[in-house]
Amino acid sequence: MTMKAMQVGLLGIGTVGGGTWRVLQRNAEEITRRAGRPIRITRVADRDVERARALTAGAAEVTDDAFAVVRAPDIDIVVELIGGYTLARELVLAAIEAGKHVVTANKALLAVHGNEIFARAQERGVMVAFEAAVAGGIPIIKALREGLTANRIEWVAGIINGTTNYILTQMRERGVTFAQALTEAQQLGYAEADPTFDVEGIDAAHKATLMASIAFGVPIQFERAYVEGITRIEPRDVAYAEELGYRLKLLGIAKRREGGFELRVHPTLVPADHLLANVNGAMNAVLVKGDAVGQTMFYGKGAGAEPTASAVIADLVDVTRLHTADPEHRVPHLAFQPDQVREVAALPIEECRTASYLRLAVADRPGVLAEITRVLAAEEISIAAMIQKAPACGRAEIVMTTHEACEAAMNRAIAAIETLPAVQGAVTRLRIEPLAD
Amino acid sequence: MTMKAMQVGLLGIGTVGGGTWRVLQRNAEEITRRAGRPIRITRVADRDVERARALTAGAAEVTDDAFAVVRAPDIDIVVELIGGYTLARELVLAAIEAGKHVVTANKALLAVHGNEIFARAQERGVMVAFEAAVAGGIPIIKALREGLTANRIEWVAGIINGTTNYILTQMRERGVTFAQALTEAQQLGYAEADPTFDVEGIDAAHKATLMASIAFGVPIQFERAYVEGITRIEPRDVAYAEELGYRLKLLGIAKRREGGFELRVHPTLVPADHLLANVNGAMNAVLVKGDAVGQTMFYGKGAGAEPTASAVIADLVDVTRLHTADPEHRVPHLAFQPDQVREVAALPIEECRTASYLRLAVADRPGVLAEITRVLAAEEISIAAMIQKAPACGRAEIVMTTHEACEAAMNRAIAAIETLPAVQGAVTRLRIEPLAD
């Protein structure tokens, strides 16, 4: 094979960048046999020039000037692994402007500036590939964009943040608190020093936003996503969920509805016997429901140097295989042809519909349950199951699940329940997804 | 969107063909938005012309002459859903000769004649797409061929036959015999009147053969696959497997080894806590181990009209999106560039290595176990676990698992064990896959 190598400029050679470098070197022969020509990182930009030089050992030109790499005439593809919104946006736009194809793992960037970036890429006739931005090594973008194109996709529900899945798994398996599990996750490297993006659900919302766009053919609209993290989850909620036949997972959900679609991230009770409930530790999985295919699931490592590099390099191979195709006949960035994206908006959370889990402390006296039931009935919310926990000192804990109801109605019901004299403190509410056909 | 429609000739409008027709009609708008132009079945060939006419209701030209459809100048893509080896081969080759792209769900055809078919397609510059040939609606061909291209794929292990997974699930959950479970599966439509291809593992071997070729960049070599079905599985083996922490699944396995690769289909004990062990009923799942990505799993419906149609239509969209690309720069049929396929042969089963499960009836007297252990030790096979079942009438049943050993050594050990005076009848042997990282 003597074809000219595709020349790649790598922006950022930290964890994922280092993994990309390593895998591309190690599997060079196999990757070339697949791609039809060698793929070589010939330029690297990193703030830490010394580290970059040590890693690349003379095999690539190293600089601290990322824009120089982006504009170098010999570079065919720019890989953006810097992260963040500002500099990354400028670099990606500059690369597109210079006619380079772009591969990025930057979900935050695409969730916030994706519409702009993809429009510019379209104008310039270059590809922006982002398999690594969602669920690490799992080829879920490709599955949604190409593998399931026959389907009207009804919903997507994913465990798409490894940190929170690790924490929730620890809380369930060992009964520890969120705070304990987080500290351990940080010690083990599963959570960052500032875990906000992960534990508050923001990272998952970035990814769910991208999947929603591809699944439904709508603009990227992170600003409309409902986002709720796992910081307030208590061990007893994990245990009660279990008792009711559920398991608690942080899900990113995109669901088609009349007149719009739901886009939400929150802790979710899922049936314990569903395959998704059994995705543990830092693993990721995305469940997709299509009208023809039914439920499909895609499982694997959602983070880490080499799993993420796996997705980055798959994109490099894709670009290498297809870059000579005329831009009109490439796979569209967001699965739907650019002129076929529909201006459909994500519904506000108040218009979303879910079943709920409610936990509340009440005075242990007759008639309390009847009062609560009456409030729910007034909002046309019906109860699916109920357990009452060990009354002690005249106080009982009621845990119940409801059938599907509108969020606004549930909010009103919860507010009304909290005003009942027998109810003590706030109602804890979690949402349930049956993940049924 | 006013682009000219892609015109499809459909060969066979039975279960999958009917599903393809239906889904393509129902989701026409969404599919067009993705593909960039309409995809229309304009000609249908079926032996049952009346049924075909009733289904298509005037929207397509119907004939019983499949060759006429293949050669019709207005047809861009031929969808082959006839099945079988002979006529299907002639039709697919005629379509390629006529410069048509081909989409097929015919795993048997490709497993047996794939090398010839793909070579001819390459010469003529047309695409032959076959996502529907493996695991129905699960986009596993795309995942292996495009989504995991960064990886040196170490092994693939899949539940790729729904009939046998349904039967094994029934045997486990309800303790019924293979014969009972098969009869029920036939009554429910999960098994055909002649279930040979499914229960003897042949269908799974066709699929495993195709996955091996794509995973490792080797020719298609069904004739070298080791194939063992589930007809001799007894309920007690299902139960003992469970007791030892395993679950019994029919797996199609392709595993890279020094100097070749293993290609085998057989009932397999897998760890009960592995996600793959929890794929039940008629569902399919394929586990792929790549050196960079680690383990990934792809799950969904492996058969049925619409799940299979989902894959057929995804291929139609792929062809529509990419048919203008010059043939040198399309995604290669078998993942590796045609001139980069290596003539590596599947190893004979005697050279494969697995851990084993052994069950044998012995005379219940001291020293028997020592004799058996000695035989195994002579072949350097070590025991992992052992249970001895309720001795009755001077007869006991020994169930043991061994560590990994060469098949030939295990065969010699079993033959030697069967000659021991204390051992009654034949040794039952099943293989174990730890599915470990």
Q: What is the mean pLDDT of chain A?
A: 96
Q: HSE on the CB side for A162, CA within 13 Å?
A: 24
Phi first, then psi, for residue A18 (nearest 5°) are: -60, -40
Q: What's the per-residue H, E or C state across B298-366?
A: EEEECCCHHHHHHHHHHHHHHHHHHCCCCHHHCCCCCCCCHHHCCCCCECCHHHCEEEEEEEEEEECCC
**By CB neighbour count within 10 A (0-12 exposed, 13-18 middle, 19+ buried), where does B80 fall?**
buried
pLDDT at B366: 85
Mark out the alpha helices in A1-65 (DSSP H runs): 15-26, 28-35, 49-56
Distance (Å, rounded) from C-alpha A202 to C-alpha A223? 11
Distance (Å, rounded) from C-alpha A252 to C-alpha A371? 34
pLDDT at B323: 86
Distance (Å, rounded) from C-alpha B195 to C-alpha B117? 27
Angle at A26 between CA A21 and CA A29, to 5 degrees: 115
pLDDT at B169: 98
Neighbours of A364 (CB within 10 A): 17
Instruction: Respond yes or no: is residue B207 known to be catalytic.
Output: yes
Distance from CA of A388 to the nearest CA of B (A): 32
Nearest CA-CA partner of B87 in B104, B112, B66: B66
Residue of B4, B25, B34, B317 to mutate for A, most A C-beta atoms under 10 A: B34
Q: Which residues contact B373 (CB under 8 A, 6 or more apart)?
A: B383
Distance (Å, rounded) from C-alpha A301 to C-alpha A299? 7
Per the annotation, does B201 bind a ligand?
Answer: no
Residue of A321, A326, A330, A331 to mutate for B, most B C-beta atoms under 10 A: A321
For residue A288, what is the nearest residue in chain B, using CA coordinates? Answer: B300
Q: Is A30 in CB contact (< 8 Å) with chain B?
A: yes
Tokens of A223: 């600003």
pLDDT at A273: 94
**For B139, which of A147, A299, A323 is closest by C-beta distance?**
A147
Distance (Å, rounded) from C-alpha B145 to C-alpha A308? 18
pLDDT band at A240; cut points 50, 70, 90: very high
Per the annotation, does A301 bind a ligand?
Answer: no
Q: What is the pLDDT of residues A395-406, one digit of tens each?
A: 899 999 999 999
Contact residues on chain A for B129, CB-CB shorter than 8 A = none
Q: Is B313 in CB contact (< 8 Å) with chain A?
A: yes
**For B329, which of A23, A30, A321 is closest by C-beta distance?**
A321
Neighbours of B328 (CB within 10 A): 11
Q: Could you tell me how many CB contacts below 8 A there are between chain A and chain B?
A: 250
Specify the length of chain B in residues. Answer: 437
Q: What is the pLDDT of residues B87-115, one digit of tens each?
A: 999 999 999 999 999 999 999 999 999 99
The answer to whether the complex's ipTM is over 0.85 is yes
Dihedral (CA of B400, B403, B404, B406) sign:
negative
For residue A136, what is the nearest residue in chain B, using CA coordinates? Answer: B293
CA of residue B162 relative to chain centroid, distance: 10
Q: Beta partners for B405?
A: B354
- Structure-derived torsion over alpha carbons of residues B245, B248, B254, B259, reported in degrees to the nearest 10: 60
A1 pLDDT above the threshold of 70: no
Angle at A130 between CA A229 and CA A103, to 5 degrees: 135
Q: Is A34 in CB contact (< 8 Å) with chain B?
A: yes
Query: Which DSSP symbol is given to A138?
Result: S
Average pLDDT for residues A125-140, to the nearest whole number?
97
Beta-strand relationship, B6-11 and A383-392? unpaired
pLDDT at B207: 98
Query: Which DSSP symbol is given to B147?
Result: I
A150–B313 C-beta distance less than 8 A = yes
Query: Which DSSP symbol is given to A147?
Result: I
Distance (Å, rounded) from C-alpha A238 to C-alpha A270? 11
- The terminus-to-terminus CA distance of chain B in angstroms comes to 48
Query: Which DSSP symbol is given to A345?
Result: P
Q: Which residues of chain B have pLDDT under 50?
A: 1
Distance from CA of B213 to the nearest CA of A (A): 12
Q: Is B403 in CB contact (< 8 Å) with chain A?
A: no
Average pLDDT for residues A295-318, to the nearest whole number?
97
Distance (Å, rounded) from C-alpha B86 to C-alpha B113? 10
Q: HSE on the CB side for A18, CA within 13 Å?
A: 10
Contact residues on chain A for B324, CB-CB shorter than 8 A = 325-326, 328-329
Angle at B303 between CA B299 and CA B309, to 5 degrees: 100
**For B150, which of A36, A297, A310 is closest by C-beta distance?**
A310
Of A207, A249, A255, A289, catalytic: A207
Nearest CA-CA partner of B287 in A295, A297, A156: A297
Distance (Å, rounded) from C-alpha B226 to C-alpha B239? 25
Q: Beta partners for A131?
A: none
Contact B178, B230 (CB under 8 A): yes
B297–A299 C-beta distance less than 8 A = yes
A311–B33 C-beta distance less than 8 A = no
Distance from CA of A71 to the nearest CA of B (A): 25
For residue B149, what is the nearest residue in chain A, using CA coordinates? Answer: A314
Distance (Å, rounded) from C-alpha A16 to C-alpha A34? 22
Q: Is A382 in CB contact (< 8 Å) with chain B?
A: no
**For A307, which of B26, B292, B339 is closest by C-beta distance?**
B292
Average pLDDT for residues A214-232, to the nearest whole number?
98
pLDDT band at A325; cut points 50, 70, 90: confident
Q: Beta partners for A270?
A: A247
**By CB neighbour count within 10 A (0-12 exposed, 13-18 middle, 19+ buried), where does A366 fall?**
exposed
Q: Which domains does chain B have, with CATH numbers?
A: 6-129 (3.40.50.720), 145-301 (3.30.360.10), 353-432 (3.30.70.260)
Distance (Å, rounded) from C-alpha B250 to C-alpha B205? 10
Neighbours of A124 (CB within 10 A): 17
What 3-state class would DSSP assign to A409? helix
What 3-state class would DSSP assign to B124? helix
Q: Is B162 in CB contact (< 8 Å) with chain A?
A: no
For residue A300, what is the nearest residue in chain B, using CA coordinates? Answer: B296
Per the annotation, does A244 bind a ligand?
Answer: no
* Coarse DSSP helix, strand, coil percentages of chain A, rounded to the nearest 5 percent: 40, 25, 30
**By CB neighbour count within 10 A (0-12 exposed, 13-18 middle, 19+ buried), where does B25 fall?**
middle
Nearest CA-CA partner of B338 in A27, A5, A36: A36
Dihedral (CA of A53, A56, A57, A60) sign:
negative
Query: Which DSSP symbol is given to B275?
Result: G
**For B23, which of A150, A307, A326 is closest by C-beta distance?**
A150
Q: Is B317 in CB contact (< 8 Å) with chain A?
A: yes
Phi first, then psi, for residue A103 (nearest 5°) are: -120, 130
Q: Is A307 in CB contact (< 8 Å) with chain B?
A: yes
Contact residues on chain A for B276, CB-CB shorter than 8 A = none
